[in-house]
Every structure is written in structure tokens, then in C-alpha cells.
């Protein structure tokens, strides 16, 4: 073992060895303690990354908007997350008088739990994964739907009309964007032939462990739609309609203060980071990469995706609710279905596995050829659908302008008369 | 007791407690949340059976979709808090639940029953030569208690069973067709009507209203007619 490349694996084996030495009398207890330790480490990692990310995001967005960002607490404002934490802890913990107490108080916990359980299946390095589920992809999608429940609980429990409105919006958005997300995970799952995240990464590496062709080359359209749906699923800007300050104050968490509010915040950031990790696993080859150790590669890829999130947040205004639903149901879903059918047909036609070619027919090609064919097909679907959408949008805009013009003329005529 | 048995008992208690809460609480919203907890417990039972696929599907479908719909329906119900639950169908529900439980016990549980149709009163006329058949699931003898392990490839097997002509292809296609029909219906109901259509609908409705009003006016304006005339008109 290379001590630098396999640092995480060596450390985890070391800890597991100590634990099994202490609990030598009961292998079950040893397993339980090891898993508990792993869970604690994963949750701590997520919570610490939340602290760091709030600082980084504020700094980056400030740079984009030509501001300074936090710069008072410590050098370069580095202690800002700690100051924020102290502020959150010391704030008064309020509960609305007519709130449904149980539901109101449980909601932040549920959202944090569902956000943190995502990390159980993420592979951080070869052999370092909470649990290698054979239904890992399915698990991620299912856990994502759990946060809807928590937001509904918060919206209902607060007994506040803005909170309820925010919860309703959230459900419409989160349930809706699950559909394109699933439709665009399917090509990846079919290509890897497995729903296990480790298998998906292995499929993107060559047999001797070097990085192979990442799936973003095979399915650029899937990667794009997955990224945008991922942002919508975590409710980040420009899809932050669930907490639109100018319309519904703060949406579902308007009544929460102190640490409960912080838990909602943590849920948002931890979910966003999880989407970044999942995207790098599905489409960028996960921890596979040359020279640098695997965990560094994974962190770099996830950081790149998270930077794109921050970039979008700093540049794009919030989209309207009808635009959000139109984008999903009238663009993403049909395009994803067409893309899925095209990709499925091509994957059956051009195969790389000789055994499969013999059993089911199809043209045997090298992996790189298959990648080029799928890339061209995926890009064609993307560009054609964008062209159709652009033409349709132009027609609609012209119609709208014509109607406005007519109304203006009528008003003018009425004013003269 | 093994760890699995302890976990099974704990999860079952959670599921049963949550289910009991659902049917006894007066707060519909909390009932819906507790139903979610019960569904979650059932997902836990699937995990205990080592079929992760069904556990995850349970969470995705029952918690992520069905319960959310139920909560929406509950939120749109008026006066849902603190109302007195009235149930005029309690007896019927109890009998149905008992029958379903008995059937499940018969099919899946330890009971084994020999059904001899040839000896049943009416059926014996039609099926006089039917041979007795044994109904019942797993034999509950201690030797049989070891459940065979779930095969590694159960997901692939499950997928193949769904597209196998000899297994579940037809139900699978029927469900797909049903979902298509439902989607088309939803789009039809929620579609944006063209102004011409809206005007036409309003005109039709106005005509219907006018006819109804006319009929009512006539009915109230002609009480002088004898009883027999009205009755014969109705007869024709």
C-alpha cells in the first residue's frame, strides 16, 4: 500500500483494528462500535464542511458582486463561522404560540438526519465507503425525497401562512425535479450495469486503476440536466423559491430561530455538498485521477462543482415559479426521455463487451469509439432541443409583444375618446 | 434471541404503535406523519430481510410520494384539528381487517389447510371429481425456520422477471399503460384552455342554465293541470 494514496484506508483499518481488539469478546459489538465511529466521523466531516462552506461561499459571492465579504472576525474573516455559531447558540429559542409543538420541533432534526444519511453510501477513496449498497443510486434518490417531509413538517408546524406557502412551493419543486434527475441517472446506471456507486466509479476507471473515460463524455446532456436539477433539489439560488425573501419572507423556516434555523441551513449546505459529491461520482469519475491521492481528486472535483453552485448564486436572479415549472415539465422531462431512448438504442447497437455482442447482437467497437458516438448523439439531442426551445420562446415573445401593442393602442384610443 | 429477532420485535412495535396512533389520534396531520413512520418501519423490516431494493422503493414510493399526497389532501381538509372522529363503519372495517388477516395468515403464515372442494355443499355439484388441495405457505416446523439467503443477483432477477413473457410482463405493461392514461388525463384536466373554448363552454353552460330555469318556470306556472296528466306525461 502506498501510504499517501491509501491514507484514508490505512487510518480506517487502524481504527477498526483497535476497536476489534478492545471488543474481542463480541464481534457484533465490535462491528457496531466501528460503524458508529464511522457515522460520527462522516457527520463531523459534513458539519465541519458546512462551517467552511458558509465562509467560502460568502467570500466568493462577495468577490463576484464586488464586495469584501466577512473580514472583521480574525484574519480575512476566517473566524466568521465560529462567530456565527456562537450567535446561533446564544439566540433565544422561540416557538410560536399556536405551533404544533412536536412537529415544529422535530422538523429541523428530520431535515438534518436526511441530509447526513446521504453520506453513508459516498465512496471517498478505494475501500473507504460507509456502506457499498448495491442499490446506492436508488438510496440517494429515496433519501432526497425525505427532506420534502421535513419541509412540510416545518411549514405546517409553524402555523404561519408564509411558512405553509413555502412548504407547498417546496413540494411542487422537489417532487417535480426528481423526475429529470432520475431520468438522467438512468443512462449512467445502464452504462455501469449497476446501482452501486463503487461499481459506477470502477466503470469509469481502466482495469489497472487509471482514470478511464468519465461518463460526462458519454452523456453531456445528462450531466447538465442532473446538475441543474440538483441545484433545484437542494433549493439553492436561482431555484430558492421556497425561501424567497421578497415574496414569502423566508418560506418554511420563517418561524425558526437559533440552532433550529442553523439546522435548516446545515441541511441545505450538506445537501448541496452531497450533490457535488454525487455529481463527481456519476459523471467525473469520482476519486479516479492521476498522480494525486484519490481523496484529493474527489475533493477537487466536488469543490469545482460547488464553485459552479456559488458562481450561479452570485450571478443569476431568482427565477419565477411558472418559469421553474415550465423549465422542468416542458423542457427537461421531454428532452430527457428523448435522450434516454436515443442513448438506450445506441448502447444496444454499439457494444464494447464481446460476450454481450455474441449474445444479443450489435456492433463490437472500442470503448473510445462508443464514447465518441454517444457524445455526438447526446450533444445532438441537446443542441436540437435548445434550438427548438429558442424558436418556440421567440414565437411566444412575439405574440406577447403583439398583444401588449394592441392593448396599448386600445388604451390610447380609449383615452382619446 | 439473536440480534435480528430483537430488531424485528423493536421495529414491529414501532410500526404497530404508529399504526395505532394513526387510527386513534384526532389530529389528521399527525396521523399522516405517523403513517410515514409506520411505512419507514416497514422499510426497516425489508432491510432485516436483506432486500435493500424493496426497502429503498418503500421509502421512495410510500414516504416520498404517497404520504406527501396524503398530507396535501389533509392540509386541504377544512377544520381538521380537534374534530371528533365519527366512524359509522367501525364494525365493517374490523370484520374486513380480520378476514384479510386470516387470509394472509393462511397464505403466508404457519397455517396449513386442506381444501376438499368435492365435499362442499353446492360446489360438489360442479366439481365432483376435484382432488383435495393443500393451501398454506411456509411450514412452521423448527427445522424449516432457516430462511434461504437472498441471492446476490436478486435485483437482476427481479428486473428479468418483470420483462419475462412467462412471468410478470403483462401486469408490468398494464401498469405502464395505466400510468400513461392517468398522466394523459391529468394533462387534459389541467390543460390551458384556448379563449374560444372557454367562451364555448360558458355559452353551453348558460344555455343549460336557461333551459333549467325555463323548465322550473313552467313547472311552477302550471299547477292547474290535473294530477293524472302529469303522471301520464311522466309515464310517456
The model's pLDDT over A357-377, given as tens digits with 9 standing for 90+, comes to 777 777 777 778 888 888 888
Q: Which of A216-220, A224-228, B51-55, B206-210 has the highest mean pLDDT?
A: A224-228
Q: Identify whether residues B143 and B76 lie together within a single domain.
A: no
| Residue B234, in any domain of the structure | no
pLDDT above 90 (res B227): no
| Residue B202, in any domain of the structure | no
Using a CB-CB cut-off of 8 Å, the residues of chain B touching A177 are: none
Using a CB-CB cut-off of 8 Å, the residues of chain A touching B3 are: 28
User: Measured between alpha carbons, how far is A137 from A195 in angstroms, rounded to an integer?
Assistant: 5
The band of A305, judged by pLDDT with boundaries at 50, 70 and 90, is very high
Q: Identify whether residues B32 and B11 lie together within a single domain.
A: yes
- Of B80, B105, B135, the residue that ends a domain is B80
User: Measured between alpha carbons, how far is B157 from A173 in angstroms, rounded to an integer?
Assistant: 34
User: Measured between alpha carbons, how far is A374 from A366 in angstroms, rounded to an integer?
Assistant: 13
Contacts 24+ apart (CB under 8 A), A6-11: A6/A125, A6/A126, A6/A127, A6/A293, A7/A293, A7/A295, A8/A124, A8/A125, A8/A128, A8/A295, A9/A125, A9/A126, A9/A127, A9/A128
| CATH number of B22's domain | 1.20.120.1200
For chain A, give me the number of helices (H) and strands (E)?
Answer: 16, 4
Please provide the distance, in angstroms rounded to a whole number, between the alpha carbons at the two ends of chain A: 90
Q: Identify whether residues B70 and B134 lie together within a single domain.
A: no
pLDDT above 90 (res B17): yes
- Does A177 touch chain B if contact means CB atoms closer than 8 Å? no
pLDDT above 70 (res B145): no
Rg for chain B (alpha carbons), in Å? 29
Cβ partners under 8 Å of residue B13, min gap 6: none
Q: Identify whether residues B23 and B1 lie together within a single domain.
A: yes
pLDDT of amino acid B181: 94
Q: Identify whether residues B55 and B102 lie together within a single domain.
A: no
Task: Assess contact for A123 and A133: CB atoms under 8 A.
Answer: no
Q: Count of CB contacts below 8 A, A vs B?
A: 59
Residues A318-356: tens digit of each pLDDT = 888 888 888 888 889 999 999 999 988 888 888 777 777
| Residue B39, in any domain of the structure | yes
Compute the Cα dihedral for A231, B37, A117, B47 and give only its sign. negative
Domain that holds residue B107: 92-150
Of A129-138, A173-182, B164-173, the poorest mean pLDDT is in: A129-138
Task: Assess contact for B83 and B26: CB atoms under 8 A.
Answer: yes
| Residue B16, in any domain of the structure | yes
| Residue B214, in any domain of the structure | no
Which one is predicted more confidently, A225 or B25? A225
| Residue B100, in any domain of the structure | yes
Q: Does A28 sit within 8 Å of B3, measured CB to CB?
A: yes
Please name the member of A103, A135, A178 whose beta carbon is closest to the beta carbon of B52.
A135
Task: Assess contact for A104 and A158: CB atoms under 8 A.
Answer: yes
- Of B150, B173, B193, the residue that ends a domain is B150
Count, residues in chain A = 417
Task: Assess contact for A134 and B52: CB atoms under 8 A.
Answer: yes
Residues A168-187: tens digit of each pLDDT = 888 888 888 888 998 999 99
Using a CB-CB cut-off of 8 Å, the residues of chain B touching A134 are: 52, 155
Q: Quick one: how far is CA A40 from the chain centroid? A: 22
User: Measured between alpha carbons, how far is A364 from A195 in angstroms, rounded to an integer?
Assistant: 24
Q: Identify whether residues B18 and B75 lie together within a single domain.
A: yes
- Of B150, B170, B195, the residue that ends a domain is B150
User: Measured between alpha carbons, how far is A184 from A207 in angstroms, rounded to an integer?
Assistant: 26
| Residue B199, in any domain of the structure | no
For chain A, the structural domain boundaries read: 93-319
Q: Quick one: how far is CA A118 from the chain centroid? A: 10
- Characterize B53-82 residue by residue with b for buried, 16 or more Cβ atoms within 10 angstroms of its Cβ, and e for exposed: bbbbbbbbebbbeebbebbeebbeeeeeee
**CA-nearest residue of chain B to A138?**
B56
pLDDT above 70 (res B111): no
Amino acid at each position: 500500500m502506498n501510504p499517501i494514496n491509501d491514507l484514508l484506508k490505512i487510518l480506517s483499518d487502524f481504527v477498526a483494528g483497535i476497536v476489534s481488539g478492545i471488543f474481542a469478546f463480541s464481534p457484533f459489538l465490535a462491528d457496531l462500535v466501528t460503524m458508529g465511529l464511522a457515522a460520527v466521523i462522516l457527520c463531523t466531516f459534513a458539519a465541519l464542511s458546512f462551517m467552511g462552506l458558509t465562509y467560502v461561499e460568502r467570500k466568493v459571492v462577495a468577490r463576484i458582486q464586488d464586495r469584501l465579504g466577512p473580514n472583521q472576525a480574525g484574519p480575512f474573516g476566517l473566524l466568521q463561522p465560529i462567530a456565527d455559531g456562537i450567535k446561533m447558540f446564544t439566540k433565544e429559542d422561540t416557538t410560536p404560540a399556536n405551533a404544533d409543538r412536536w412537529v415544529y420541533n422535530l422538523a429541523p432534526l428530520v431535515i438534518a438526519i436526511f441530509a447526513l444519511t446521504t453520506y453513508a453510501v459516498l465512496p471517498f477513496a478505494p475501500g473507504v465507503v460507509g456502506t457499498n449498497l448495491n442499490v446506492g443510486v436508488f438510496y440517494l434518490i429515496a433519501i432526497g425525497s425525505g427532506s420534502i417531509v421535513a419541509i412540510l413538517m416545518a411549514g405546517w408546524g409553524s402555523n404561519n401562512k408564509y411558512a405553509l406557502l413555502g412548504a407547498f412551493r417546496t413540494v411542487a419543486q422537489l417532487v417535480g425535479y426528481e423526475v429529470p434527475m432520475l431520468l438522467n441517472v438512468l443512462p449512467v446506471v445502464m452504462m455501469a450495469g449497476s446501482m452501486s456507486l463503487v461499481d459506477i466509479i470502477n466503470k469509469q476507471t481502466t482495469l489497472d486503476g487509471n482514470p478511464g473515460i468519465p461518463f460526462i463524455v458519454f452523456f453531456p446532456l445528462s450531466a447538465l440536466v442532473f446538475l441543474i436539477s440538483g441545484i433545484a433539489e437542494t433549493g439553492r439560488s436561482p431555484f430558492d423559491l421556497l425561501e424567497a425573501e421578497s415574496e414569502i419572507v423566508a418560506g418554511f423556516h420563517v418561524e425558526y430561530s437559533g440552532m433550529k434555523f442553523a439546522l435548516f441551513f446545515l441541511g441545505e449546505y450538506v445537501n448541496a455538498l452531497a450533490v457535488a459529491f454525487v455529481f463527481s461520482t456519476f459523471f467525473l469519475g469520482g476519486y479516479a485521477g492521476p498522480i494525486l491521492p484519490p481523496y484529493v481528486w474527489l475533493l477537487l472535483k466536488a469543490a469545482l462543482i460547488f464553485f459552479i453552485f456559488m458562481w450561479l448564486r452570485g450571478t443569476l436572479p431568482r427565477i419565477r415559479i411558472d418559469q421553474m415549472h415550465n423549465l422542468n415539465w416542458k423542457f427537461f422531462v421531454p428532452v430527457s426521455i428523448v435522450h434516454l431512448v436515443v442513448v438506450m438504442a445506441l448502447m444496444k447497437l454499439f457494444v464494447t463487451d464481446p460476450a454481450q455482442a455474441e449474445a444479443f447482437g450489435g456492433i463490437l467497437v472500442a470503448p473510445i469509439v462508443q464514447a465518441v458516438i454517444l457524445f455526438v448523439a447526446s450533444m445532438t439531442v441537446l443542441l436540437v432541443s435548445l434550438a427548438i426551445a429558442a424558436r418556440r420562446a421567440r414565437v411566444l415573445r412575439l405574440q406577447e409583444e403583439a398583444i401588449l401593442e394592441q392593448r396599448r393602442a386600445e388604451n390610447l384610443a380609449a383615452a382619446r375618446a | 434471541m439473536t440480534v435480528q429477532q430483537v430488531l424485528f420485535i423493536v421495529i414491529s412495535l414501532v410500526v404497530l404503535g404508529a399504526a395505532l396512533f394513526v387510527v386513534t389520534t384526532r389530529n389528521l396531520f399527525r396521523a399522516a406523519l405517523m403513517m410515514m413512520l409506520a411505512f419507514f418501519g416497514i422499510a426497516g423490516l425489508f432491510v432485516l430481510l436483506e432486500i435493500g431494493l424493496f426497502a429503498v422503493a418503500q421509502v421512495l414510493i410510500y414516504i416520498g410520494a404517497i404520504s406527501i399526497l396524503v398530507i396535501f389532501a389533509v392540509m386541504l381538509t377544512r377544520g381538521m384539528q380537534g374534530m371528533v372522529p365519527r366512524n359509522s363503519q367501525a364494525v365493517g372495517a374490523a370484520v374486513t381487517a380480520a378476514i384479510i388477516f386470516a387470509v394472509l395468515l393462511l397464505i403466508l403464515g404457519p397455517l396449513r389447510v386442506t381444501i376438499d372442494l368435492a365435499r362442499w355443499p353446492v360446489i360438489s355439484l360442479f366439481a365432483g371429481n376435484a382432488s383435495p388441495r393443500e393451501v398454506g405457505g411456509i411450514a412452521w416446523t423448527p427445522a424449516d425456520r432457516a430462511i434461504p439467503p437472498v441471492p446476490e443477483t436478486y435485483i437482476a432477477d427481479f428486473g428479468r422477471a418483470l420483462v419475462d413473457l412467462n412471468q410478470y410482463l403483462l401486469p408490468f405493461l398494464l401498469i405502464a399503460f395505466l400510468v400513461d392514461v392517468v398522466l394523459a388525463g391529468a394533462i387534459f384536466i389541467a390543460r390551458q384552455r384556448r379563449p374560444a373554448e372557454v367562451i364555448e363552454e360558458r355559452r353551453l353552460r348558460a344555455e343549460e342554465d336557461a333551459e333549467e330555469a325555463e323548465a322550473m318556470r313552467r313547472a311552477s306556472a302550471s299547477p292547474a293541470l290535473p294530477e293524472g296528466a302529469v303522471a301520464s306525461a311522466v309515464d310517456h
